[in-house]
Structure 1
């Protein structure tokens, strides 16, 4: 945002600025000068190895680093390895290092070295468990070479940011002995329905990275064919993998588990979002591109508390945007999130440090050194992780922590959104996902009710059952069944409070009803003036089952129930 805030907001920002404490500095990017390519084989030998060596030499010549290629394991000494920022295992097979050489390589990684594994690097050193952890997974089998579709999961990583959301190509597709997802950051996976012979149950990682043993590891199962090494998308991916492993390009290689997609690149997921204010976004190749403004695209399905929000963003040039957190329903007004929530700014050229990339806009500047070390330039993708826990806001840029701020605004629970700041201030977003603490439900955005047990912060009442999700019918359609959902408390309980978050178009009536047998219902609370939002209702009743019943509905608009919590004893 490059617009002027209200005077009260500026005054508050000035006060907050006096309390600023810099975040810890980030590790500086390491210059990439030397790479070792190791292609010794003690088993099957791939005829693509010479093409792979030539391609990496060309990448080095074009990008300012030298390449040493060897099949001599005697090169694996502590002194020799120390000169390289990354070591590429290019389709190695079998036992290629003796004990002393293994120890030297392990020490190299422990000292911050980088490992790149290509294709059959996963068919290597089966009797060395440390190496198995480094590569991420061991090879098990493969079908015949064929065309398959790759789903690019992380489009903010330097090795995959250039790729389309789906990528179709010919290769030899490895199955692995175990799925590495819990330990690594999966960058791309195979669509097993697009080819024959996949055996990993539909979740088939094929390219990933991780921090391991003091250093960095990047692996891809691609690269069996000679043609791969003249394919621009593949060689650019390989370059990014070398840079990530060498530490010369920032990357978040932490395993990512438990996140729910809010925007996954599909039109169906975008349909769940709402635009507040002028302008908007277009959708192409899984990417949102802003137009006009100042407006806000926000996710109305539910507010979030105590969560981690991740997304990728890209500015084509000197552009502007931001991610908004912790705001109430804007009711069409994009200034409400400005005045009541916080913007995590995206604008690296603003002269005000509290309004640059990584800042909590006008409230807290980022650690400039950490931000500059982590920031990819215009035209490149970056990844934000925004942690909100109570009033604390933490910001990571490409895996590097750049800000830590405690707010005095009521942001502990609220909605999230992305900004279109104005004409010519173009910005792109993709892959927006969230993980709520102690809530591992994975389909909150898909309308599938899930059950969780929780205690609402600041309350002594146990949430005997909490159901999160949308009813089967989306807004914009009349409901054929006015009953929204039923909560089973597990046994008959005294009920004294119900909290529901919901949407309705013009003010609709509803009832809270209880039952002991899920058949005979008693109304515990009713209203004829409900207008959506968050209703925190005191009720008197008991029962095993609680349901919300819509008693008035229009022919055009219906209800959407997002979150239902029943409190009792």
Structure 2
């Protein structure tokens, strides 16, 4: 339950955050806490599911494949999933793949699937399936463009097996949360033909100065994840050696990749570039405590203790538009929050009276639980619940400020969209802070970083909501060119998950939102079509809520005037009616 103190103070003061002024000291961390992997703790119990392990080779065959299958079977037995292992490509049929939550390509090499099998696998991903690529999975299917995007990058070369330092960039994803900031491993370290950082979220990279033979100019991703064509894709470059599969830390790495690909745990796997660190785990320079209690620093993690108080970033005030990201974890029904838009002051009540709190609290009223703008606006609870990891697992917030608009993303999914109208508050300038709520409320934070206006926001993924709260939907999750686009009740399916790409396209299931034959007349069909970089596939969100195609000068429009499920979407002269108002991710 929520602690009575916060409820009482909120009741009597009408505040969005509760704290009293007093400054607490913050202890430092030891070097060992910054670099040493922790014990490979078991994951939380998951509902039972099945995965398919595919290890066919049409080129070099790794001697570690048998050890890999054994390790995956062991992980399944301990974590409630069943492993079916095969090297038969005939397993890739629509009906057979439907029983699996994820398909693991274990050091496959060469051309391992025929055309019909490739089509079945593309449909499986489009229906929300998961892919896990291990090591030589990047040395596979060079003539299949869909697979190149799925794996993230193709193999180029490798030096001799040798130890290297792995830099862990994301310690919130289930595949890497158990690791320290660095990870010492011996393996065969692949160089890749392209850098996946712009299309995938990098979880770990290699320190090329720690070994010989790296050829990626110092930016060398080695594990990553991405949402792809309606499904989820995870890849790790480790796993060449037999010894890898007996290593508890590497096994836990694989388990986390499988759990995420299977959808049993959530993470923000959008590409991420251009952020500046405010707290990277090495110290708290620039931060200051206001109020009682404080935060301890260990294992590159800030953990709230006592309170009510706030640790705020006093080194600078943020003005203009920005995106703030941070990772957080609650151990149970704990209470904390992230504050934005408040003036510099050693009195924490300045944050109460002038800022907003993005709440962290497992149980409370809708406007005072996780994802809410505390006391002002509830999160979209179904979307929040679908994106939220349970207590004991890490989550990632993105808090995006655009003028007086505050958007909140949880593990990559938008869960709240709030606009400030209070003249006593403003999001256009202010500081940020972390709440320490009180005794017994221990919430941990990692990797606090910010990107300010003037840098590319990168692609965003989620629902496109229109009139009557319905979602932009692909009819029957079809992937054929020409598939109808319609309104439909929002249901979190892959057919309603759109990516707003930097090139101006709206993409889902691996294809683009398209105007039939580049038409310009009112009523022209809007369809799904292979991305081709034409003007018929470019869309621009307007300040009035419309989504306009610059080539035609017309707008995305829900046809008719009843707007039930399956209402077709078409092109129409812009008029700002409710059937032309859309909320993008």
Secondary structure of the structure 2 residue equivalent to 1:288? strand
- 1:66 counterpart = 2:82: yes
1:91 equivalent in structure 2: 107
Bigger strand fraction: 1
C-alpha distance in structure 1 between counterparts of 2:69 and 2:105, whole Å: 11
1:192 equivalent in structure 2: 208
1:301 equivalent in structure 2: 315
- State the 1:8 CA deviation: 8.5
- State the 1:32 CA deviation: 5.6
The alignment covers a number of residue pairs equal to: 421
C-alpha distance in structure 1 between counterparts of 2:448 and 2:16, whole Å: 30
- 1:346 counterpart = 2:360: yes
Relative distance call for 1:265 and 1:95 in structure 2 (3 A) is same
Secondary structure of the structure 2 residue equivalent to 1:411? coil
Secondary structure of the structure 1 residue equivalent to 2:67? helix
Secondary structure of the structure 1 residue equivalent to 2:137? helix
1:284 equivalent in structure 2: 298
Matches within 5 A, 1:502-513: none
Mark the runs of 5 or more structure 2 residues left unpaired by the alignment: 18-45, 458-585
Matches within 5 A, 1:358-437: 358-408=371-421, 409-437=425-453
1:140 equivalent in structure 2: 156
1:327 equivalent in structure 2: 342
Mark the runs of 5 or more structure 1 residues left unpaired by the alignment: 14-29, 442-569
1:494 equivalent in structure 2: none
- Superposition TM-score, scaled by structure 2 size: 0.69
- State the 1:396 CA deviation: 1.4
- 1:356 counterpart = 2:369: yes
- Superposition TM-score, scaled by structure 1 size: 0.71
Matches within 5 A, 1:69-218: 69-218=85-234
Q: Which has the larger radius of gyration?
A: 1
1:10 equivalent in structure 2: 14
Q: Structure 1 runs of 4+ off > 4 angstroms?
A: 4-9
Contact 1:32–1:246 (CA under 8 A) maintained in structure 2: no
For residues 471-496 of structure 1, give each alpha carbon's deviation from its aligned partner in whole angstroms, at most 9, with x where no partner exists.
Answer: xxxxxxxxxxxxxxxxxxxxxxxxxx
- State the 1:113 CA deviation: 1.4
- 1:258 counterpart = 2:274: yes
> Over aligned residue pairs, what C-alpha RMSD do you find?
2.1
- State the 1:416 CA deviation: 0.8
C-alpha distance in structure 1 between counterparts of 2:16 and 2:87, whole Å: 63
Secondary structure of the structure 1 residue equivalent to 2:264? coil
C-alpha distance in structure 1 between counterparts of 2:93 and 2:261, whole Å: 19
1:528 equivalent in structure 2: none
Contact 2:16–2:357 (CA under 8 A) maintained in structure 1: no
- State the 1:422 CA deviation: 2.2
Contact 1:294–1:334 (CA under 8 A) maintained in structure 2: no
Relative distance call for 1:327 and 1:12 in structure 2 (3 A) is closer
- State the 1:316 CA deviation: 2.5
Contact 2:227–2:233 (CA under 8 A) maintained in structure 1: yes
Secondary structure of the structure 1 residue equivalent to 2:196? coil
Contact 2:47–2:80 (CA under 8 A) maintained in structure 1: no
1:499 equivalent in structure 2: none
- 1:318 counterpart = 2:337: no
